[in-house]
Structure formats: C-alpha cells, structure tokens
Amino acid sequence: MKGETKVKWISSLTMLFTFFSIISGKVMYGRRHPLTHSKIHSSKQLELSVIVPARDEAQRLPRLLKSLAQQTVSVEIIVMDDGSTDQTAEIARAAGASVYSVQADKPSLWQGKSLACYQGATYASTPLLLFVDADVTLTSPRAIQALIDTYYQQDYRGLLSVQPYHSTIRPYESLSALFNTLTVVGTNQFSLIDGQQTTRMAFGPVVLTNSTDYKSTQGHQQAKHHIIEGFALGQAYSQQGLPVNLYEGQQDIQFRMYEDGIQSLVHGWVKHFSVGATATSPKVMTSIVIWLMGSIITASGLILSLLVKPISKVNMGILYILYTMQFIRIHRRVGHFSRWMLCLHPILFIFFSGVFLSSWIQSYCKRSVIWKGRTYHL
C-alpha cells in the first residue's frame, strides 16, 4: 500500500507541475508584437539609412545586400568594416554600398559592435537610422516599409527593434532554439506580466531610430561598455522618456546565426547570456524557470513510467505530449527549428544549462569572453 501511495503522489505531482508549467509558458510569452503592414498616413515618408557593422562577414553580407536591393523603399546603405580580414569591404562596394573603416578610438573602452554603429551614424545623411546585423536577411520586399509604418505609430520617436525569425539549415543550429526564445521573453515585453516596465531593453540585430533622438541619447556611445548593446541602448532611450518598442520579425525579417559550426554557436551564446539574464524581471524569470522545469519533469515522469510498473505510461505520455505541443508552438514564433529536436526538448534543456553554466563561469570567474578573435572584459 505504501508503494502504491507513493506512486500516486508521484503521478499527481507530475500532473500538477506540468499544468503549472504550461500556464507559466502562456504567461511568459502571451503577447504578440508583429510589425504593421498598413499604409502610413504621413504626407511625406522620411528617408532612411541602413548601417551595417561588419567584421569578417563576406559569407553572410551578400544575402543582406541582395534583400536590401529588393525592397520597395530605396535606402542609403552604409557598411562599417570593423577590421575584416576577408572580402567584406570589396563585396559591399560591389553591391553599391558606401564602405567605411571603423577608426580606433581607445578600443579597450568599447565592447562589441557599438563603435562601428556609432561611427556609421555619423556618415548617414537621412533622418531615420536603421542598424542591421550582417547575418540578417529581409525576407519580405516590404520589410523596410513595414518598419517605417510601425515606427510612424510611435510618431517617429524613440527606438524600435526587431528580433529576426531564426532560420536554420544544419541540424546543430537547432540547438539555439531555447536561447532564441529566452532572448525574446527575457526582455519582459512579451509577457502577460511586467510588460509595461518603464526601463526597457532592445534587440540588437535590427534597430530603428531617428537621428535627433540618437544624438540626444548619445546612441551606441551609451553601450560602449556592453557586449550586448541592445540592453544599454534601450535603457538610454527609456531613461529620457522616449518610447522603446520591440517586435517579432517572423515573415518579414530573419537571420541565420552561427552557421560556422557548433563551436561558434557555443561561443556566441556564452557571450550573449553573460549579461542577459540579470536584465529579466523577477516575475518573468520565475515563469521562465517553472516552464523550463516542465521539460525535465515530464521527461522524468515518462522514464519512470517505463521503469516503475504502477505509474501509468499513458498518463505520463499524455503529459509529455501536452508539454511538447506547447514547446513547439512557442518556438515556432521565434524560428524554424528541427521538429525532432523540439520533441526531444530535454536535450535542448541540458545543452542550454551547460552553456549557461559556462557563461556564468566566464562572467563571474574569468570575467571575460572571447568572440571573433577579440577578448571582451566584463
């Protein structure tokens, strides 16, 4: 009888925790922020400059430049060559972009790509500035028009940033699934709780602003000590009372991250998460943790049902399937990942935990991370 009672408790607790985990998943990612595709009502549309910081991006840059050429809106393209050792500059010039070399300005004081972005803004001749990473592709010919239309809704003021839809090709790239999802929900703006915080973060890959606000906030100069510039940039704008709004790229904007191999993927996410976790609100972080634990709880319940006969295999299987269905649905919002990998979500959780631990060691023990041949001190 004692054994049966214990089994019932295990089954009941697994069912209860799975229920709360699914609810937490809904809470942490319950808001939708798509770009606007309705025609703006402004009598005159503002001109726009695209600023691309690039360091050894000869492989990825052509995709972005080709997609920019296919846009319904004509733009000025500025590529900032940040010490590339490949054909980045030549490729950009051949595509008609204006290419400038990043000038060293006490490089030990600048982290990440902020210096390239800041200097790139000085070459722009238009009122709107769009900062775009080299691994981004505009999948819709109206992507820039949608950005401008959406920015018009905030009166062409403040900051608008987009997290591109994550495109994957090789199997290992799907290991980024959890990282991408947590990058989005960790900003607090997509949660059903704490979605209206006064101090906000921004995504780094695609950032739209106007030159007046950029100068008044000092733009990327505020992020020169930060590896992930979006956090500092969003805070600089929000602290001056300017709007900071975040959107999902989905059908308009995508990127393919860390296509150079699994080592670049690990190093990239170690760099990213070395500073990101501390910016998430406690309420949102709690819902994230409960949701993540659902992966291990449902997997453990399923394994136990195969080892301990009294535990219902059917019940544990149903719980695992229910959690997996939500897991897939959530990740389909941020990227195209292997369905098999998403079904085996405990593997993603274990990989995420390992990289997160490595990031913590780099941040609080070694106090530095290495990215693209450069060492950044934290």
Q: Residues of 209-219 as b/e, b for ≥16 C-beta within 10 angstroms?
A: bbbebbeebeb
User: How far is 317 from 37, CA to CA, in rounded Å?
Assistant: 42
Decide if 370 is inside a domain: no
Same domain, 18 and 151: no
User: How far is 97 from 29, CA to CA, in rounded Å?
Assistant: 38
Mean pLDDT of all residues in 205-219 = 97
pLDDT at 338: 95
Decide if 164 is inside a domain: yes
- Alpha carbon 104 to chain centroid, angstroms: 28
Decide: 343 and 324 in contact? Cβ < 8 Å: yes
Q: Give the model's confidence band at 196: pLDDT under 50 very low, under 70 low, under 90 confident, else very high.
A: low
User: How far is 77 from 321, CA to CA, in rounded Å?
Assistant: 47
- CATH assignment of the domain containing 205: 3.90.550.10
Give the end of a domain, one of 276, 293, 320: 276
pLDDT at 116: 94
Instruction: Write down the mean pLDDT value for the chain.
Output: 88
pLDDT at 108: 58
pLDDT at 10: 79
Signed CA dihedral, 306, 310, 316, 318: sign only: positive
Please name which of 22, 26, 2 lies closest in space to residue 297, comparing C-alpha atoms. Answer: 22
Q: Give the model's confidence band at 339: pLDDT under 50 very low, under 70 low, under 90 confident, else very high.
A: very high
Same domain, 99 and 190: yes
Q: pLDDT higher for 36 or 57? A: 57
Q: Give the model's confidence band at 343: pLDDT under 50 very low, under 70 low, under 90 confident, else very high.
A: very high
Q: pLDDT higher for 106 or 212? A: 212
pLDDT tens-digit map of 9-43:
878 899 999 999 999 999 999 998 999 887 655 55
Answer whether residue 376 shows pLDDT above 70: no
User: How far is 205 from 296, CA to CA, in rounded Å?
Assistant: 31
Decide: 226 and 232 in contact? Cβ < 8 Å: yes
Structure tokens that stand for 222 in this block:
């505020």
Mean pLDDT of all residues in 100-125 = 86
pLDDT at 66: 98
Q: What is the domain extent for residue 299?
A: 2-30+281-343
Mean pLDDT lowest for which of 107-111, 129-133, 148-152, 366-370? Answer: 366-370
Mean pLDDT of all residues in 345-369 = 80
Decide if 360 is inside a domain: no
User: How far is 138 from 254, CA to CA, in rounded Å?
Assistant: 6
Q: Sort 367 into a burial class: Cβ within 10 Å, 0-12 / 13-18 / 19+.
A: exposed
pLDDT at 361: 74
Mean pLDDT lowest for which of 107-111, 124-128, 135-139, 264-268? Answer: 107-111
Decide if 17 is inside a domain: yes
Q: Taking the chain, what is the end-to-end CA distance rounded to the nearest angstrom?
A: 57
Q: In the chain, what percentage of residues exceed pLDDT 70?
A: 88
Same domain, 173 and 311: no
User: How far is 371 from 112, CA to CA, in rounded Å?
Assistant: 9
pLDDT at 111: 72
H or E element at residue 255: strand 253-255
Please name which of 329, 226, 261 lies closest in space to residue 59, comparing C-alpha atoms. Answer: 261
Q: What pTM, to 2 d.p., does this model score?
A: 0.90
**Domain tally, the chain:** 2
Q: In the chain, what percentage of residues exceed pLDDT 90?
A: 66
pLDDT at 130: 98
Same domain, 66 and 91: yes
Decide if 353 is inside a domain: no
